[in-house]
Structure 1
Amino acid sequence: MSEPRQDAYAALLGATVTQLGGGNATAAITVTEDHLNPHGTAHGSFIYSIAGLALAAAANNDTHSGVVSSVLIDYLSPARPGDALLATARVVERMPKEDIFEIRVTRGEDVIARATGRANRRART
């Protein structure tokens, strides 16, 4: 396991992002009052951000820079203050110049959201 390069947005949100290697990564965070929408649940853009942090970390490594070109997310269950969320991204399809990822945002055993993402793979210079 290694820590990805500094991600200022992850730091702003208070997320811990870990690259697991082989196109896999996680982003962990606890929902706070600052992450809520007017309904008192975690804002959709917050959930999207957590999924995106895991995706970006999974798409990047020491030899390749992954540039995310699309994300499709389904929100399945609300998250509330105090919920510990974990976004797990894993590559499910490798093509010549891009990868397709599956991302799941969970609270324990409960799936909060699921997403698919696509990232172009470019050699680091």
Structure 2
Amino acid sequence: MTTPETILAPGVADDPAFDWVRTMFRDDRASQLLGVTITALEDGVCEGEFVLRPEMCNGHGNAHGGFLYAFADSLFAGACNSGGRPAVAAFNTMHYIAPGKEGQRIHGRAVQSDTWGRNGITDVELTCDGRVIAQFRGTSRVVATG
């Protein structure tokens, strides 16, 4: 489990341009519960990692897809919120390619590939030990605040 103080790795998102997304992650209890650490954040890009704990594995001893999905969704949120405007998911899909196992560190990289109006498309690739284990694609929508 990470905390509001440790979810962002040291030096990540220190620029005032990232105030919104930094606050979003510090208030993100779900990502903290997963143990996510955001290791890089720039405009349209978010990277992170977490370790698969025993309670995150299914009856086959593999990573439960819901935990991988939640992790990918957190990175998706980082990428599509990095521009400083609040964005939410409108539609997401995930392809599971290979299993992750208990104790393994899962890395992820989200890249916002296209934006138009208040919409965006972000691709997330999850890897373990250098091999791709899942691919996620999400559509985001910038929402009004207040």
The TM-score normalised by the length of structure 2 is: 0.79
Q: Which amino acid aligns with 1:101?
A: T
Which consecutive aligned stretches of 4+ in structure 1 deviate over 3 angstroms post-superposition?
122-125
Q: Is the 8 A contact 1:54 1:89 kept in 2?
A: yes
Which consecutive residues of structure 2, in runs of 5 or more, have no partner in the other structure?
1-11, 15-21
Single out whichever of 71-80 and 5-14 deviates more from structure 2: 5-14
Please report how far the alpha carbon of residue 122 of structure 1 lies from its aligned counterpart in structure 2 after TM superposition: 3.3
Q: Is the 8 A contact 1:27 1:53 kept in 2?
A: no
- Greater share of residues in helix: 2
Question: In the alignment, which of 56, 77, 87 is matched to residue 56 of structure 1?
Answer: 77
Which consecutive residues of structure 1, in runs of 5 or more, have no partner in the other structure?
none
Aligned residue runs from structure 1 range 63-74, under 5 A: 63-74=84-95
Distance 1:2 1:123, change over 3 A: farther
Structure with greater contact order relative to length (CA < 8 Å, sep ≥ 6): 1
Q: Number of aligned pairs?
A: 125
* Aligned-residue CA RMSD (Å): 1.7
Distance 1:24 1:76, change over 3 A: same
Q: Which amino acid aligns with 2:36?
A: A
- Greater share of residues in strand: 1
Distance between the aligned counterparts of 1:63 and 1:22, measured in 2? Answer: 9
Question: In the alignment, which of 70, 85, 97 is matched to residue 76 of structure 1?
Answer: 97
Q: Is the 8 A contact 2:44 2:83 kept in 1?
A: no
Q: Which amino acid aligns with 1:106?
A: T
Question: Which residue in the other structure is 1:26 paired with?
Answer: 47
Q: Deviations over 1:29-76 (max 9, x none)?
A: 011111111111110101101100100111113630011111110000
